[in-house]
Amino acid sequence: MNTKAVRTEEDIEKTFDTYADMIYSLSFIMLRNKSDAEDIVQDTFVKYMKYNKEFDSEEHKKAWLLRVSSNLCRDLLRYSSRHRTENIEDLNETAFEPEKTGILEALNSLPENIRIVMLLHYVHEYKVREISEILRITQSTAKMRLKKGRELLENIYRKEFLS
């Protein structure tokens, strides 16, 4: 099952090249802050380098990285809520394409618990079962958050574009 693993430089580089953008986008969506998202990517890979067990599969590794990064984001959000020091950066400073800014703003307006489920399902193409495992919620909860997210995004779309 999970045996001891030694991370080689090649493995770390390959894993970083494969998953860094995904971890960044997840972190940015959760934190709404470019520099904090970059820090989460770095912290996630530090944890990866220190994690000394083998993964059962590439999907297991991907899920582990997403779980670690989302937990780090939650920790930072909890800390930030207790220790307010700065405002959220302007969304225009993102690395996303300008035509996606409206979608990003709409997604960012959703509550965090719904936003992360939507991101995992629609951007990273995880199935409901996989989302429930990553976030440690029931499949029913994941489905309800997807449903609620679709409804909220539809309402935002109707208000912005059909009014």
Residues 107 and 125 in one domain: yes
Give the chain's mean pLDDT: 82
Tell me: do 51 and 109 sit in the same domain: no
Residue 130: pLDDT band by 50, 70, 90 thresholds?
confident
Tell me: do 54 and 116 sit in the same domain. no
Domain count, the chain: 2
Decide: 24 and 38 in contact? Cβ < 8 Å: yes
Among residues 77, 95, 113, the one where a domain terminates is 95
Could you say which of 95, 113, 134 is where a domain stops?
95
Domain hosting residue 126, numbered range: 96-163
Query: 61-115 pLDDT, tens per residue?
Result: 999 999 999 999 988 888 766 655 444 444 444 444 444 556 777 777 888 899 8
pLDDT average, residue stretch 128-151:
92
Please indicate, yes or no, whether residues 67 and 127 belong to a single structural domain of this protein.
no
Q: 94 by DSSP, 3-state: which?
A: coil
Whichever domain contains 48, its CATH number is 1.10.1740.10
3-state class percentages of the chain: helix first, strand second, coil last, to nearest 5: 75, 0, 25
Domain final residue pick, 95, 124, 147: 95
